[in-house]
A and B are shown apart, each in its own frame.
Chain A
Amino acid sequence: MSTAPTTTYVMPAPGSRGPDIAFKWVAVFAAAMIVVLIVMVGWELYYGSRLAIAKYGAGFLWSSEWDPVLEKFGALPFIFGTLVSSLISLLIAVPLGVATALFLTELAPLKVRQPIIIAIEMLAAVPSVIFGLWGMFVLIPWLRDSLFVWLKKSLGFLPLFQGPIYGVSMLAAGIIIAIMILPIVTSISREILRSVPNLQREAAYALGATRWEVLKIAVLSYARRGLFGAAVLGLGRALGETMAVTMVIGNRPQISASLFAPGYTLASVVANEFTEATTDLYQSALFEIGLVLFAVAILVNAAAQLMLKSMTGSGPIKVN
C-alpha cells in the first residue's frame, strides 16, 4: 500500500561545484607530484654536487683517485665497481632466472609451481641488510675457504682469478646482487614467457620437435626482446643495491683485474662515507656520485620499461 509522503522536501540546496573542483585538484596535485618528485630529486642532487662539479668538471668521471685526506676525488673506481658487480650479477641471475621462468611456465605441474613461486616472492621480500649480514657471516667465509680457492686453482691462469683472496670481493658482491635480483628477473621473464601465444608452441610440436626444441624455436626466440628487457630491469635493480654490497665488497676504491679483489660501488661509497664527510667538498663529491648513480639508474630503468611495454602491450610492468 503506497503511503502519501509525510515529510516535505528537505534536502539542502545544491552547491557541489566548489568541493568537487577542490577534490579534483587535490587528486591532480598528488598525481603531478610524481613527476615533480623526479625533477626534485635530480635538482637536489645537482645542488648538492655543485662544488664538486665546479672543481672537477667532467674529469670527475674518469679520475681514479679517491683520497679524502688530500681532498682529491674521482668517481672512476666506483663506476668501475658498480658496472663490474652488476655485470657479474647479470651473468649469474639472467640465465638462472630465465631457466627458472622456463621451468615454471613450461614444465612444472601446478602443485610444484605454486610453492616455488611463493618461495621466490619471499626471497624478494628479504631486505638488503639481512642479505648483507648473511653475506658477511655465511657466504664470505664459504667463498673464501671453498669456492674462491677452487676457482683460483682451476682458473688461475686468467687474471680474473688471480691475486690474494680476502673473501670480501667484487665477485662476492656480484653473487649477492645476483641473489637479490633473481626474483624480479624470474617474475618478469615468467610474464614474458606466458605472453608467448600457445599457437607458437603448438606449431613447433606439430612439426615433431622435442620439448627443448619447442622452447628454443617457438618460445625463446619469440620472447627474446622481452627477456632482454627483463635483464635490463634486473640491471636497473642491481645498480642501486647498497647495503648488502657495502657489507661484502670490501669498500676499497681500487680498480683491479681480479674478481677476488675488494672494490667499491657508487652506492656503497655514499652509504659508507656520507656521515663522515667532514668537508664541504667531500660531501659535494659524494653528492655528485649520487647524481651519477641517479642518472644511470633512471636511464636504465626507463629503457627497461619501454622495452617491456612494447613486448607485453598493456601497461608498464609493476615492479615490486
Chain B
Amino acid sequence: MTESPYLPTPHFAHWRKVKSSAVTGVLVVCAFAVIAPLFLVLYFLLSKGFSSLDWNFFTQLPKPTGEVGGGMANAIVGTIVLLAMATVFGVPFGIFGGIYLAEYGSDRANNWIRFAADVLNGVPSIVWGMVVYLILVVPFKGFSAYAGGVALGLMMVPLVMRTTEEVLILVPQSYREAALALGVARWKMIVVIVVRTALKGIATGVIVALARIAGETAPLLFTALGNTFWSHNLKEPISALPLQIFAYGLSPYDDWHRQAWAGALVLMALIIVLNITVRVLSRDRGKTD
C-alpha cells in the first residue's frame, strides 16, 4: 500500500487531536464557571441569612434606625400585596392582548405587536418607575401602593401576552369549529372553550411573570417608596422585600446587614417556590395531553 503524499504527518494529526481535547476541556470549565455563581449566591444566602429567620423576623416591624432587632413583616406582606395588585392591573391586559394575537389578529398586525412586546420587555425597569411616578405619584401628590402595583403590572403585560398567545395557539382548531357549529357566539367560544382549555398554560405564564417581577426593586423606588410601618391603605407608600433589602444593604449597620441577608433568603425562597410551581404545572399538562 503506497502512502498518499497528501496525508498529514503523524505529528500534525496528533496536534489536532490535542487541540480538540483541550477545547473540550475549556468548554467544560466554562460551563461550570457559568453555574458557579448560582451556588455561591445560594450558599451565602443560606449561611448568612438562615440563622436570622426567627419568629421575630416574620412578625415584627423594622426597628428605628440604629436599634438592633425587629423584622420584615411589613415587607413580606407588602411584596405579596404588590404582586396581587400587579396581577390585577397587568394580567387582564396581557390575556386580552394574547387573545387578540391568537384569535383575531392578522399576520401583519401580529408581527408588529409581537415586536413591540419584545421591545417593551427590554425597557429598563427603572424607566417604568420614572414613568409611573409622573402619571400616578405627581398628580396624586404621594407615593402609593397603587403606583407600585401599576408599575409592576405594566412590566407583566408583554410577558403574559406572549405566553397567553403561545398557549392559545396550541388549542386545536377543531374545538373552535365544534363550538361555533353549535351556534355559540364567537366571544363565548373564545372564553368558555378556548381559554378554558388553555387555562393551565395561561396560569403558568402568569406565575412565570410574577416570579420575574417579584424581585424587582427599581420600579418601586419612586412609586411604592417603602415604608417602615404597616400601610393602612393602598394610597400610602408600602414596603416590599426588595426595597428593604436594598435599604438595609446600603446602610452602615451590621444588624441591618444581617437582616438584609435574611430578607434576601426569604425573597429567593419565594421566587424558587414560584418557579417550582411552574415546573409542576407544566409537567402535569404534558401528561394529560
Direct contact of A and B (CB under 8 A): yes
A contacts, CB < 8 Å to B = 14, 16, 19-20, 22-24, 26-35, 37-38, 40-41, 44-45, 47-48, 95-97, 99-100, 102-104, 107-108, 116, 119-123, 125-134, 136-138, 179, 182, 186, 210-213, 215, 236-237, 239-243, 247, 267, 270-271, 274-275, 286-287, 290, 293-294, 297-298, 300-302, 305, 315-320
In the complex, what residues of A have CB within 8 A of residue B76's CB? none
Q: CA A240 – CA B114 in complex, angstroms?
A: 21
Closest B residue to A215 by CB, please name it: B23
| Min CB gap A274→B, angstroms | 5
Pairwise interchain contact B275-A96, C-beta atoms closer than 8 A: no
B 210-233 to A, binary, CB cutoff 8 A, 1 in contact else 0: 011011111001100100000000
Chain B, interface size category, equals 35 or more
B246 touches A127 (CB 8 A): no
- Is B172 in contact with chain A by the CB < 8 A criterion? no
Chain A residue contacts of B114, Cβ below 8 A: 315-316
Residue on A nearest B35 in the bound complex, by CB: A119
Q: Is the CB of B130 within 8 A of A100?
A: no
Separation in Å of the A34 CB from the closest CB of chain B?
Answer: 5
Contact B41 A38 (CB under 8 A): no
Known contacts A100-B27, A103-B28, A210-B19; decide if A125 and B275 are in contact (CB<8 Å). Answer: yes
Given known contacts A127-B267, A133-B264, A243-B218, A237 and B122 CB-to-CB distance under 8 angstroms: yes
Q: Give the distance to chain B from A60, nearest Cβ to Cβ, in Å.
A: 17
With the chains together, A202 CA to B204 CA distance in Å?
A: 39
Neighbour of A122 across the interface among B19, B154, B212, B275, CB < 8 A: B275
**What CA separation (Å) do A100 and B44 show in the bound complex?**
24
Give the distance in Å from the alpha carbon of A269 to the alpha carbon of B242 in the complex: 18
If over half of B's interface residues share one DSSP class (helix, strand or loop), that class is named, otherwise mixed; here it is helix
A230 vs chain B, min Cβ distance (A):
14
- Give B28's nearest chain A residue, CB to CB: A103
Known contacts A44-B134, A47-B134; is-contact A123 B37 (Cβ 8 Å): yes
Which residues of chain B (64-103) have a CB below 8 Å from chain A? 92-97, 99-101, 103
> Is B178 interfacial (CB 8 A cutoff)?
no
Across the interface, which residues of B come within 8 angstroms of A102, CB to CB?
Answer: 27
Complex CA distance for A95 and B33, rounded to whole angstroms: 12
A77 to B123, CA, bound (A): 21
Instruction: Provide the residues of chain B in CB contact with A48, threshold 8 Å.
Output: 130, 134
